[in-house]
């Protein structure tokens, strides 16, 4: 698991500097970015995000799309180690394996120490464009969700492309969700409150797994937690053009990810582009989270609207001043931490309503 004592001397210095910069006033952060306040599409970029983006640009590190998958994975691990900060304590952490589509997959179980169990279980899939990311890069998110949502989190290390192209990740997600539901009691969790969730590519996998579970006779999850999910690989929506450069996730990176994952696959396949599924009815209630300055924003919100139109209860929360990947920066970023705590609280509430049978009776909600 990521630990500060595994950082190099330079990375420890970067972690201290990041924390100090996050503590600066918004005015000082904007001044440090050496740019005027960024306002676009009716939104204002958080000063902390503006400063972070400017500092990343000045570092002039190789962009992911210029690297091999192996090199991109290593770069991402090191960055995640810094961004995660000091690990948030949880009740217990256990390494285990779960059943994937074609064999066992590494997984990690985070157990809450809150009284009053059994607690819900969140089967979690990490982001990274189906090419990068692993259990360690998302250790911080899983710990925060465990503590602030009051859930046990089962993080799954699904197969990555290009070694395992589409539909490997989708099939692993479906199999791992089924395994989590079937083994919830053995994991100390409430089998009636098993949620599925993830960020970015992991949000895509979660959406696909929830739909496949509903179509294969179930049981399906009690909730979908979709954090800035990728939902449509076939087209570029307005946010994809507005924020294609300069806001962390770029168009070139997205093309690199899709190219490695899709191979010769049909991009309209709903296991690749869940927004294009013919039927989204009968799915679990969803909490869909987007970031205002994220190229994936519009397709995530389009998916929320499609779910709502199909009769699925949806809470849509846009964080207008944030960027793609903010959940990974909660260890060093105040605004990112606040956002992650908020969405964890919403997850807790929706799962509590799920047990009471109230979620399916609630009207669809939108918060921005």
- HEC readout, 178-236: HHHHHCCCCCCEEEEEEEEEEECHHHHHHHHHHHHHHHCCCCCCCEEEEECCCCCCCCC
Q: Where are the beta strands (DSSP E) in the chain?
A: 39-40, 43-44, 92-99, 104-111, 119-125, 152-156, 189-199, 223-227, 286-291, 314-319, 365-367
| Alpha carbons 220 and 283: distance in angstroms, whole number | 8
Q: Which one-letter DSSP state was computed for residue 357? A: T
Tell me if residue 324 is catalytic.
Answer: yes
| Dihedral sign for Cα atoms in the order 321, 327, 330, 333 | negative
Distance CA 307, CA 279 (A): 9
The one catalytic residue in 324, 333, 336, 354 is 324
Q: How many CB atoms lie within 10 A of CB 229?
A: 32
DSSP state, 331? Answer: T
Per-residue tokens: 310: 């199909």
Q: How far apart are CA 153 and CA 145, in angstroms?
A: 8
Which residues 6+ apart lie within 8 Å of 173 measured at CB? 125, 156, 158, 196, 205, 206, 208, 209
Of the candidates 136, 190, 200, 298, the residue annotated as catalytic is: 200
Which helix (H) or strand (E) segment holds residue 84: the answer is helix 69-84
Indicate the DSSP class of residue 5. G
Query: What's the rounded Cα separation, in Å, for the pair 153 and 284?
Result: 18
- Catalytic one among 174, 294, 298, 354? 294
Residues known to be catalytic:
200, 294, 324
């Amino acid at each position: 698991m990521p630990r500060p004592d595994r950082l190099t001397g330079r990375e420890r210095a970067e972690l201290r500097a990041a924390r100090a910069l996050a503590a600066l006033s918004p005015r000082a952060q904007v001044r440090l970015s050496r740019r005027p306040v960024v306002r676009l599409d009716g939104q204002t970029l958080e000063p902390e995000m503006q400063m972070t983006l400017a500092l990343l640009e000045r570092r002039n590190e190789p962009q992911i799309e210029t690297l091999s998958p192996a090199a991109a994975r290593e770069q991402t691990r090191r960055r995640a180690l810094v961004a995660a900060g000091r690990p948030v304590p949880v009740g217990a952490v256990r390494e285990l394996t779960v059943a994937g589509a074609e064999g066992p997959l590494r997984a990690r179980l985070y157990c809450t120490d809150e009284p009053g169990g059994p607690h819900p279980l969140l089967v979690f899939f990490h982001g990274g464009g189906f090419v990068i990311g692993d259990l360690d890069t998302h250790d911080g998110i899983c710990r925060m969700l465990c503590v602030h949502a009051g859930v046990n989190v089962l993080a799954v290390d699904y197969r990555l492309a290009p070694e395992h192209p589409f539909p490997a990740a989708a099939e692993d997600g479906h199999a791992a969700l089924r395994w989590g539901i079937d083994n919830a009691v053995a994991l100390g969790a409430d089998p009636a409150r098993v949620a599925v969730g993830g960020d970015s590519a992991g949000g895509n996998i979660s959406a696909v797994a929830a739909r496949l579970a509903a179509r294969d006779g179930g049981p399906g999850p009690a909730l979908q937690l979709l954090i800035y999910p990728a939902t449509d690989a076939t087209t570029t929506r307005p946010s994809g053009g507005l924020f294609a450069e300069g806001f962390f996730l770029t168009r070139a990176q997205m093309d690199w990810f899709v190219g490695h994952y899709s191979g010769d696959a049909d991009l309209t396949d709903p296991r690749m582009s869940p927004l294009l599924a013919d039927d989204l009815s009968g799915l679990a209630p969803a909490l869909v989270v987007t970031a205002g300055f994220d190229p994936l924003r519009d397709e995530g919100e389009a998916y929320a609207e499609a779910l709502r139109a199909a009769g699925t209860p949806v809470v849509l929360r846009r964080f207008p001043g944030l960027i793609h990947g903010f959940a990974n920066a909660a260890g060093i970023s105040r605004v990112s931490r606040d956002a992650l705590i908020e969405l964890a609280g919403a997850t807790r509430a929706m799962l509590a309503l799920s047990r009471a049978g109230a979620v399916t009776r609630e009207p669809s909600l939108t918060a921005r």
